[in-house]
Chains A and B, each alone.
Chain A
């Protein structure tokens, strides 16, 4: 165990030290730590203190034990349903270095598995522990007040629920390891096992959802929901949740022996699953080397934001097929800088066409609904604003999705793009332009759909299209500039900071155009096309300015720094 602890501690300490080696990393770390302090720790702490000091506590009488039982099983069962769906997927988050260095040493795979499971247990316990540490006092006092007529104190209910939640989490971690290791082996027999287990899991999940849906559809009432929570089928299907619930319920009723029995049964599941996982330990390294490396490569690509490389990997695994449209674009003959446009279109077609088409349909329906629901003669000004908002949102969203993956690719493939005889300024110009055609088409189709639904909105739709394109270009410029300034996207602290700065940059770049549009709309209330033209021209200027700065940064950009 010593080498594993050494590896964990040294990596953690060195990682922390590295955080303070550059101002950017330090700033990112401060942002990261502040985010968690303000978003996670402080709200729980302040909520508990507010609850304690709340002057007028609501005074509820004791709910029947069946209600408490049903509510707890409802929560535990829902958590179990989500965890069940993921139970057979590969769990060992091993790094390529584990395979190349650790697995070739005499360190026992049993030790590696125990270490990994204990680490996962601890991670699983972080959420209940944080809540326990920061919100326990307030919540227990509150529950004491709410359930003061129970034979047991409200704080005891909380304590028991907390313990049962932890047991439930640990049970699922153990079950997941046992099942995923059993079905993840590279032999043929395990292929059959995988299919059988997947079938059983799908059957349990779907039949449970179907059962609940049918019962609620027949009679959507509180009584039915309560009755469902006591259904023997659900209680058996989600037995870890049943044990966790019964532990609380028996404890609340003062049946300590029964509560302990359910506690022991939950602990038994954990121990049995742990032991079952241990029987598969001989396959641990094999699974990690065969599956873990591909999972690790995917994780690394996802972390680095390399969306296109991820798709290429999925294509290599046979999960993405070649489309006809991309074949047509592939035949285009563009030379010089416009070849960058060709490359980008081709990659978008091969990578994100299915998603883009779905978004296009959703957007078209959104525009159609706005035109149909709010169109003239009912509310002219409102529909104009709604169309503008829709196009603006579409432009912003497309810039974030297309722009982010495309520009990350540009920065990751510097060694490929920079040697091409195209100046950095031209490269940046064409790279920004290349991200626009498909989003523009998507916004255009939405606006056309609105015009078809309500022909009198044709000019407003045209104006809204121009506005959408303005927001798209400004946002693209802002996304690229932010990525140039914070390119170290694999570092989580940098990623958080970069995300925040990106949103700010988009807001700042869009703001002048929006302000001008609002000003002009005061004069051209009925004709938003005329009002959007100056705003569109301004957006082109702003984008050109950001592109020029990005071009300068790109010229000196070195991914190894």
Chain B
């Protein structure tokens, strides 16, 4: 379960995220939507414990990210938008490194083989990350996020750059996490995917939450009954 309470992130005088609050229950997939520069990535990075919130509270299954970072992060997986990976590690070494960081070497062998096969990285197991294509890097980043059996997933534009087969696999993975009681927060610009995948969506603009709810909630709020998420999104974020 992920609880975000009054999250504020300021860079000097600029407020990137302004008083954001929401909760994601176990077994729920929530989409984080918003135009470019709305503060989605900053919010995700705060939740992931990479950026320090200026104020507010982020609790992951009972552990607060600033007060108990190790405990909170142990239950969390983060897939960045354009993953920067360690170029001079091989694919397998990269996975092993992440498993070491999460203290999950005991399940590494079985998990790694499974993930490498599932994401079509088996043949690249001993190749340096530097030699991977953009899509392959994205797949490796996803595999790294899955190596330690987290139950809160933060995915920043996870489907960009992945081939259709990989995208299908990732969507199945997200459904699998949901079925197993995990909480998923996805930031995306692919509104049709968000519409199909997410139970609820949160819409940000200029760092502030302007709407939250299921598609029918948002249709009602925006006065666009029966319209698609795209129409609702544009109605809420324009002007």
Q: A residues engaging B (CB < 8 A)?
A: 2-3, 6-7, 10-12, 14-15, 18, 95-97, 99-109, 186-188, 191, 282-283, 285-286, 289-290
Contact = CB atoms under 8 A, between A and B. Distances in A.
Interface string B80-102: 10011111111001101110111
A284 B104 CA distance: 25
A264 B41 CA distance: 47
Contacts of B98: 101, 105
B51 interface: yes
Contacts of A186: 10-12, 52, 54
B128 A102 contact: no
A15 B86 CA distance: 11
A186 B16 CA distance: 12
Contact of B50 (A12, A95, A285): A285
Contacts of A107: 101
A27 B64 CA distance: 53
Interface stretch (B19-27, B65-73, B162-170): B65-73
Closest 10 CB pairs of A and B: A96-B84, A105-B101, A286-B52, A3-B100, A11-B88, A106-B70, A104-B78, A106-B73, A97-B84, A100-B80
Interface of B: 10-13, 45, 48-52, 54, 66, 69-71, 73-74, 76-78, 80, 83-90, 93-94, 96-98, 100-103, 128, 130, 141, 144
Given A14-B88, A101-B85, A285 B97 contact: no
A187 B54 contact: yes
A101 B86 CA distance: 8
A187 to B, nearest CB: 6
Contacts of B144: 101
A285 B49 contact: yes
A104 B155 CA distance: 12
Contact of A290 (B11, B73, B93, B101): B11
B84 A100 contact: yes
Contacts of B96: 6
Contacts of A290: 11, 51
Looking at A18, A102, A105, which has the most chain B CB atoms within 10 Å of its CB? A105
26 contacts: A3-B97, A6-B97, A10-B88, A11-B88, A14-B89, A18-B128, A95-B84, A97-B84, A99-B50, A100-B83, A100-B85, A104-B49, A105-B73, A106-B69, A106-B71, A107-B101, A108-B70, A186-B52, A187-B10, A283-B52, A285-B51, A285-B52, A286-B52, A289-B45, A289-B51, A290-B51
Nearest to B73: A106
Nearest to A14: B88
Given A100-B85, A286-B50, 11 more contacts: A11-B89, A99-B84, A104-B50, A106-B69, A106-B70, A106-B101, A107-B101, A186-B12, A187-B10, A282-B66, A290-B11
Looking at A18, A104, A107, which has the most chain B CB atoms within 10 Å of its CB? A104
B86 A11 contact: yes
Given A14-B128, A100-B84, A186-B12, A282 B52 contact: yes
Nearest to B46: A286
Given A3-B97, A3-B100, A186-B11, A103 B86 contact: no
A109 B69 CA distance: 9
Contacts of A105: 73, 98, 101-102
A15 B93 CA distance: 14
A59 B141 CA distance: 68
Contact of B89 (A10, A96, A286, A289): A10
A106 B86 contact: no
B88 A106 contact: no
Nearest to A99: B50
Contacts of A191: 12
B62 to A, nearest CB: 15
A106 B12 CA distance: 27
Nearest to A13: B88
A186 B45 CA distance: 14
A286 B85 contact: no
Contacts of A103: 48-50
A18 to B, nearest CB: 7
A11 B89 CA distance: 6
Given A6-B100, A106-B101, A108-B70, A101 B52 contact: no
Contacts of A188: 10, 12-13
A10 to B, nearest CB: 5
Nearest to B74: A106
B78 A106 contact: no
Nearest to B101: A105
Nearest to B144: A101
A497 B203 CA distance: 53
A8 to B, nearest CB: 10
Contacts of B90: 10, 14
Nearest to B96: A6
Nearest to B84: A96
A102 B100 CA distance: 11
